[in-house]
Amino acid sequence: METVSMEISGRTLTLETGKLAKQASGAVQIRYGDTVLLVTATIADEPKEGIDFFPLTVDYEERLYAVGRIPGGFIKREGRPTEKAILNARLTDRPLRPLFPKGLRNAVHIVSTVLSVDQDCAPEILSIIGASAALSISKIPFDGPVGAVIIGLVDGEPVINPDLEQSAKSRLHLVVAGTSEAVMMVEAGAAEVSKEDILRCIEFGHAEIKKIVALQNELVARVGVPKMEVPLYEPDPVLVERVEPVLKEKIKAALTVPEKLEREERLAAVKAELLEQYQEEFPEQEENLKTIFEAVLKETMRTMILEEGRRPDGRGTEEIRPISCEVSVLPRTHGSALFTRGQTQVLNVCTLGTLRDAQILDGLDIEESKRFMYHYNFPPYSVGEAGFMRGPGRREIGHGALAGRALVPVIPDEETFPYTIRLVSEVLESNGSTSMGSVCAGSMALMDAGVPVSKAVSGIAMGLIKEGDRVAILSDIQGMEDFLGDMDFKVAGTEDGITALQMDIKIKGLSSEIMARAMEQAVTGYKYIMSKMKEAISAPRPELSPNAPRMITMQIDVDKIRDVIGPGGKVVNKIIAETGVDIDIEPDGKIYIAAVDIHAGEKARQMIEALVADVEPGKTYLGRVTRVEPYGAFVEVLPGKDGLLHISNMDYKRVEKTEDVVHLGDLIEVKVTDIDEKGRINLSRKELLERPPGYKDNPPSKKRNPRRKNKNKERH
């Protein structure tokens, strides 16, 4: 067993190997504070047949025992991964994937199992570091190691791996991963942070990453094994030499077609012609021919951009496709917007609900519920394909999380706007950056619903083509430029700062200078897009959609909650049945009444106020007779609060029978005369009647002589 350690932000990071999971190709137990993960990496002995990609799988396994909890539900064991687990698996995958050899076809499986969680030490960055260490000490070909840190921005200063208290104050949650030479991945949520501060934090984090990489190299020096020899797929050089010259001109001609579907048809025709022409001469070389086609396509497109400044659709490097924005496109939803940019089109729908509709979370974080949800759907028809729809995959969850993160800083808090908010993006057409299109459509849908967001948010996706010293940074990339380029850099924000950031590098790192140029170009681009959005809607509507529930907020004494709920929920369910509203009652006595009809909401509020109101002596009430007795009647002056109307207080004249004045179910006005020490309420009807002329109250009884009383006692 070998162990290496270092200090990061006053806590010890430890890598340990040789004790656990020794049959994996590489296994590392990583600990930071009291957060512990076991990360394994395994490679198949033989390449996978019939594929043209690298089969890398990353699984992030959450175990609720890590935070001392038993899973909810009937089965009581972990099932499908949570959204957070899927996002963390993607986070681990992204900085590692570019560092495997091109042409590797052996399946590689990385498993990060969370064994213990200290909330001050985030497990997601340990998954990246642990996976890198497990790969580095194993026989698996890997050009690492990779380090990762979280950067916070507290009081204007960057903080490495902030704890819970620092995170609560931080305006930035920035994950940076990279090698000792360059940054490989960036992901951030921010509260309108400037691009200068973000770049400063990235550089600050990279300095710490270099130390983490050095720690892994120390472990490799102790226990690392030689890398296995694996066959890397390469097409036949003779075939390449024969095909490439003819193919280049045909592909270049097809690439000049600006419309996506027509361009794809032309390219597909070129590929079909290639296969037909050379299959007889080179039998059983179909896969090789397809690979050569893709390689020539990539090289031709990149050369056109770098040498001629021409993109496949004819735009300049900073030019953004035509934009169209509409709101209120659906009649019965609470808010809706349609955002179209070139051949990317997103429909977004906003729905408002009560706080009871918030999502309950069953994961490793301290957060137990979520009142703002963003869901993203990507059906096959959006790219002109026929396929299957089996629910959201990792891509859909990742894109939805990114779009939601961009909008979080402008969402009003619960006190200001006590609603659960759900946004759903339906991608109707896709040709690049549907996630940033979803940010724009979501921002407009929120404003269309009347949600009092603080500002509009827009987003843009940037690309990069880099060959040696030649660099082209592309604004508003389309699908082909994303697939064949070297970077996917998404930036979203308001006019005052950045709210979300995601960068994936497909080459071995990116310099600070190029990153700064891309950031500057991105901010200019998303502000231009925002100006187009504001032509459709520039601010939240002054009132909520007429289809959305109106929320009435009340605060009652905690001791009165049981009066509102009633035995078995009888009282509150009666109010809901009579008014048709939704009612949420919080443990602190806060009550939320949601009603589409505001009059129904007011009626429910009045009913609750009556339930919790106290009966006041001297006050007059309209009450209902609930019981009749020979000595008087009991009258309900407030819900659940009865008082006694004694027969002597029914009228100035003598009343022989209670039924001569009142009957069961009658509504009568009564005055509260007093409330005794036991809380019993005494009522009077006669005090509300006109006093007869000459009427005299009964004189007070004469007091007995105390001496006489004592004498009577003695006599007994």
pLDDT above 70 for 713:
no
Q: Would you place residue 91 in the very low, low, confident or very high pLDDT band (cuts 50, 70, 90)? A: very high
CATH 1.10.10 domain residues, the chain: 237-308
Task: Kindly state the tokens that stand for 158.
Answer: 């960057």
**Over 316-361, what HEC string results?**
CCCCCCCEEEEECCCCCCCEEEEEEECCEEEEEEEEEECHHHCEEC
Q: Would you place residue 350 in the very low, low, confident or very high pLDDT band (cuts 50, 70, 90)? A: very high
pLDDT above 70 for 342:
yes
Q: 550-612: what fold?
A: Ribosomal Protein S8; Chain: A, domain 1 (3.30.1370)
Q: Would you place residue 697 in the very low, low, confident or very high pLDDT band (cuts 50, 70, 90)? A: low
Distance CA 298, CA 134 (A): 33
pLDDT digits (tens, 9 = 90+) for 433-454: 899 999 999 999 999 999 999 9
SS3 content of the chain, % helix, strand, coil (to 5): 35, 30, 35
CATH 3.30.230.70 domain residues, the chain: 2-223, 323-536
Among 571, 540, 554, which residue's Cα sits nearest to residue 641? 571
Give kind and range of the element (H or E) at residue 460.
strand 458-467
Q: 323-536: what fold?
A: Ribosomal Protein S5; domain 2 (3.30.230)
* Domain covering 237-308 assigned CATH 2.60.40 in the classification: no
pLDDT above 80 for 77:
yes
pLDDT digits (tens, 9 = 90+) for 620-677: 999 999 999 999 999 998 877 889 999 999 998 889 999 999 999 999 999 999 998 8
Q: Give the pLDDT score at 423.
A: 97
Weakest-pLDDT range from 151-155, 316-320, 506-510, 520-524:
506-510
Mean pLDDT of 258-282: 83
For the domain made up of 2-223, the CATH class stated in words is alpha beta
Among 227, 206, 224, which residue's Cα sits nearest to residue 95? 206
Percent of the chain with pLDDT over 70: 97
Q: Would you place residue 211 in the very low, low, confident or very high pLDDT band (cuts 50, 70, 90)? A: very high
pLDDT digits (tens, 9 = 90+) for 536-554: 999 999 999 988 988 889 9
Among 666, 307, 319, which residue's Cα sits nearest to residue 524? 319
What mean pLDDT value characterizes the chain?
90
Distance CA 650, CA 262 (A): 92
pLDDT above 70 for 325:
yes
Q: Which one is the CATH code of 617-716: 2.40.50.140, 3.90.550.10, 3.30.360.10, 2.60.120.260?
A: 2.40.50.140
CATH 3.30.1370.10 domain residues, the chain: 550-612
Q: What is the pTM (predicted TM-score) of this model? A: 0.84
